[in-house]
């Protein structure tokens, strides 16, 4: 569905169309060739000005009106059963009887921001947005003339875009209004075009470096079906349980766009323009989360050096480190661990490192409660086989932590074992004591055999077979019995051999699946310990935490896990550089410093 309800082309395309033609195309070529911009400026003052609100001064439009347009577009693309109406109330339009054309002072806008201010879920929410291009004369995607020029992305169209911004500066923050590209600004487009010069030009002309793009085109694939609107705020409500899949999920902000497209110089430039790397998108993800999602280690290091917060949590209460564990991204997981490590001492090839356990351990170091979103929980209860460490990773932090966790439990069967000791001594006094002892031992075997198998699955050699039997009983046998009960008559008469072969095939498949994961026993070992963890009180868990960690710094409540390992000689420089990445660098780039980026001054 196009932005405008009529089927004809928008009058916008008479100025510049999607192929680079239109009225203004020959005159920008003439102006660039001759250096005479007078004719082009005359067209901008006449033909273009008629498409603008208040002659280019802009107009405040209620956000609820824009949300209604976006919602209608979305519903037009969905079936009748999947359509959703905007929730909430729009409230009264306090600008309905105000002549905005007569308001040239900025005091009115400042007063409106004070009256309009409000916080929703901790996010600043404005009820009005300033638009420059008339909503009735926009393109198919709700774009303006400036957007069309940047979509063409040619030398002539980029020069025309600059002339439009110089003539009407407020248009630099006008956005797309369509469902697919809502919120996309000229700054976003310049970043996607990888045009560093245009990014610098737009920033110097007042482009908002925190403008958010809510379009479905830049949304995670598994969240597109859950998109819904509320008239009370501008952002889109999404289902939070997501895997963040999709190549175009770039995090809404211009800085996130630069990070996801791997533009290092553009990222530095936006940070110099006060873009905040810790601003969360609708999913609560910051720049660091997005670099983990798209597997960009170099961009991650740059963002961390320029002030990104390594411990910021998204809406699922997951840090970048836990997200790397959940997504089975071992390269990013190791990198983030090294970025947060404390080097205790180094002697030759031997290095002693302290890894903070705040978000790694399942036990919270403050009160001993369980952290279900910790790195260890994501590794143990995940479904990716890549998370299981190989033989060369036996000294990994998670594996070592599990080895050093000392959580004990007792049961009735252990008590009965102790009772057999006096019965054995009683056999010298009375022969009947031997019968009683045998009966007690049989009871112990009956009570503890199945429980013993629970612990056997954590052994290296027995574990895969125990797990295989459990999977066959819990999965294949139950499924087999269900099929057996439904098709009993047919089974008796016709398909006895077929169902037996089916059972054999299912057991073979399970056996092969378990055999492929040679290190599955290690994760099962961790699961056993984490299950036992839940039976302890918070104080007992806290005492256990204190036994395998040590304090870091002056605050004794902040704990770290100490690892001693051998390292190569050339890795010493890597350990040293990691300590520098941990320092937050305040970025203050003046106009003279921007020459280092090869960005021309205006």
What is the spatial distance between Cα 404 and Cα 212, in angstroms, rounded to a whole number?
46
With contact defined as beta carbons under 8 Å apart, do 142 and 4 qualify? no
Collapse the DSSP code of 551 into the 3-class scheme (helix H, G, I; strand E, B; otherwise coil) and give the result.
Answer: strand
Tell me the CA end-to-end span of the chain in Å, nearest whole number: 40
Among 190, 211, 239, the domain boundary falls at 239
Domain identity same for 399 and 546: yes
Burial per residue of 192-211, b for 16 or more beta-carbon CB atoms within 10 angstroms, e otherwise: bbebbebbbbbbbbebebeb
Among 195, 214, 239, the domain boundary falls at 239
What is the spatial distance between Cα 395 and Cα 337, in angstroms, rounded to a whole number?
14
Q: Is residue 47 situated within a structural domain? A: yes
What is the spatial distance between Cα 409 and Cα 136, in angstroms, rounded to a whole number?
72
Domain identity same for 576 and 586: no
Provide the mean pLDDT of the chain. Answer: 78
319 phi/psi in degrees, rounded to 5: -85, 165
Q: Is residue 293 situated within a structural domain? A: yes
Environment class of residue 340 by beta-carbon count within 10 Å: exposed (0-12), middle (13-18) or buried (19+)?
A: buried
Q: Is residue 488 situated within a structural domain? A: no
Q: Which two tokens stand for residue 183?
A: 């919120």
Quick one: pLDDT band at residue 201, thresholds 50, 70, 90?
A: very high
What is the spatial distance between Cα 127 and Cα 67, in angstroms, rounded to a whole number?
11
Q: Is residue 353 situated within a structural domain? A: yes
Per-residue pLDDT tens for 37-66?
999 999 998 889 889 988 888 888 888 888
Domain identity same for 362 and 314: no
Domain identity same for 180 and 35: yes
What angle do helix axes 463-471 and 520-533 make, rounded to 10 degrees? 80
Domain identity same for 387 and 291: no
Domain identity same for 53 and 99: yes
What is the spatial distance between Cα 174 and Cα 165, in angstroms, rounded to a whole number?
11
Q: What is the mean pLDDT of residues 365-386?
A: 73
421 phi/psi in degrees, rounded to 5: -65, -50
Looking at the predicted structure, is the pLDDT value of residue 84 above 90? no
Q: Is residue 329 situated within a structural domain? A: yes
Closest among 350, 231, 269 to 595, alpha carbons compared: 269
Per-residue pLDDT tens for 289-314?
999 999 999 999 999 999 899 889 99
Domain identity same for 209 and 316: no
Whole-number CA gyration radius for the chain: 32
Closest among 592, 597, 20, 600 to 258, alpha carbons compared: 597
Quote the number of domains for the chain: 3
Closest among 588, 566, 584, 585 to 575, alpha carbons compared: 566
Per-residue pLDDT tens for 466-478?
778 778 877 788 8
Half-sphere exposure of 98 (CA within 13 A, CB side): 12
Q: Is residue 22 situated within a structural domain? A: yes
Domain identity same for 170 and 277: no
Domain identity same for 151 and 117: yes
Among 239, 268, 294, the domain boundary falls at 239
DSSP state of 173: G
Domain identity same for 166 and 49: yes
The pairing of beta strand 342-347 with beta strand 59-62:
unpaired
pLDDT at 86: 52
What is the spatial distance between Cα 145 and Cα 133, in angstroms, rounded to a whole number?
8
With contact defined as beta carbons under 8 Å apart, do 176 and 211 qualify? no
Kindly report the pTM of this predicted structure.
Answer: 0.69
Closest among 205, 183, 221 to 67, alpha carbons compared: 183
DSSP state of 171: G
With contact defined as beta carbons under 8 Å apart, do 488 and 482 qualify? no
What is the spatial distance between Cα 244 and Cα 221, in angstroms, rounded to a whole number?
7
Q: Is residue 324 situated within a structural domain? A: yes
With contact defined as beta carbons under 8 Å apart, do 329 and 295 qualify? yes
Domain with 352, as residue range(s), is 341-407+536-581
Q: Is residue 475 situated within a structural domain? A: no
pLDDT at 376: 82
Q: Which two tokens stand for residue 503?
A: 């059972």
Looking at the predicted structure, is the pLDDT value of residue 425 above 60? yes
What angle do helix axes 264-272 and 196-204 make, rounded to 10 degrees? 10
Domain identity same for 124 and 209: yes
Per-residue pLDDT tens for 540-582?
888 888 888 888 777 777 888 888 777 665 554 554 454 455 4
Domain identity same for 235 and 254: no
């Amino acid at each position: 569905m196009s932005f405008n309800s009529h089927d004809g082309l928008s009058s916008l395309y008479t100025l510049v169309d999607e192929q680079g033609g239109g009225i203004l195309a020959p005159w920008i070529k003439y102006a660039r060739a001759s250096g005479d911009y007078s004719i082009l400026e005359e067209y901008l003052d006449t033909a273009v000005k008629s498409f603008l609100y208040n002659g280019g001064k802009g107009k405040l439009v209620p956000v609820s009106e824009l949300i209604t347009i976006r919602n209608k577009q979305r519903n037009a693309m969905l079936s009748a059963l999947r359509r959703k109406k905007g929730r909430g109330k729009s409230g009264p339009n306090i600008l309905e009887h105000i002549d905005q054309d007569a308001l040239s002072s900025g005091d009115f806008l400042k007063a409106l921001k004070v009256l309009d201010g409000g916080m929703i879920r901790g996010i600043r929410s404005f009820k009005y947005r300033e638009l420059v291009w008339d909503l009735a004369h926009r393109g198919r995607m709700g774009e303006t003339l400036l957007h069309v020029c940047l979509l063409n992305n040619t030398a002539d169209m980029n020069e025309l875009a600059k002339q439009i911004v110089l003539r009407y500066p407020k248009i630099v923050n006008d956005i797309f209004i369509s469902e697919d590209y809502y919120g996309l600004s000229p700054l976003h487009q310049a970043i996607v075009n990888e045009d560093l010069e245009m990014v610098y030009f737009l920033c110097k002309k007042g482009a908002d470096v925190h403008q958010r793009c809510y379009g479905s085109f830049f949304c995670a694939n598994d969240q597109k079906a859950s998109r819904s609107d509320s008239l009370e705020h501008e952002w889109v409500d999404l289902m939070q349980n997501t895997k963040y899949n999709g190549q175009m999920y770039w995090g809404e902000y211009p800085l996130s766009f630069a990070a996801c497209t791997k533009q290092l110089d553009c990222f530095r430039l936006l940070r110099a323009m006060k873009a905040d790397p810790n601003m969360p998108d609708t999913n609560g993800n910051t720049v660091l989360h997005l670099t983990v999602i798209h597997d960009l280690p170099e961009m991650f290091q740059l963002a961390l050096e320029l002030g990104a917060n390594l411990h910021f949590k998204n809406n699922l209460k997951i840090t970048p480190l836990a997200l790397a564990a959940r997504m089975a991204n071992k390269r990013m997981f190791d990198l983030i661990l090294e970025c947060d490590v404390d080097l205790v001492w180094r002697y030759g090839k031997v290095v002693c490192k302290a890894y903070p356990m705040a978000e790694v351990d399942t036990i919270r170091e403050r009160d001993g409660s369980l952290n279900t979103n910790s790195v260890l929980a994501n590794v143990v209860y995940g479904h990716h086989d890549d998370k299981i460490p190989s033989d060369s990773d036996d000294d990994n932090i998670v594996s070592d932590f599990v080895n050093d966790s000392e959580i004990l439990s007792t049961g009735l069967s252990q008590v009965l074992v102790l009772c057999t000791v006096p019965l054995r001594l009683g056999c010298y006094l009375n022969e009947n004591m031997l019968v009683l002892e045998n009966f007690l031992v049989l009871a112990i075997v009956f009570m503890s055999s199945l429980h013993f198998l629970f612990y056997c699955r954590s052994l290296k050699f027995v574990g895969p077979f125990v797990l295989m039997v459990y999977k066959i009983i819990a999965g294949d046998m139950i499924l087999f019995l269900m099929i057996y009960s439904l098709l009993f008559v047919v089974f008796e008469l016709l398909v006895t051999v077929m169902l037996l072969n089916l059972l054999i095939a299912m057991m073979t498949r399970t056996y092969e699946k378990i055999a492929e994961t040679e290190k599955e026993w290690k994760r099962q070992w961790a699961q056993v310990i984490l299950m036992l963890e839940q039976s302890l009180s918070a104080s007992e868990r806290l005492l256990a935490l204190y036994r395998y960690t040590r304090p870091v710094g002056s605050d004794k409540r902040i704990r770290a896990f100490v690892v001693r390992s051998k390292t190569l000689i050339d890795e010493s420089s890597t350990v040293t550089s990691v300590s520098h990445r941990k320092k937050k660098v305040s970025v203050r780039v003046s106009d003279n410093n921007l020459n280092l980026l090869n960005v021309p001054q205006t």
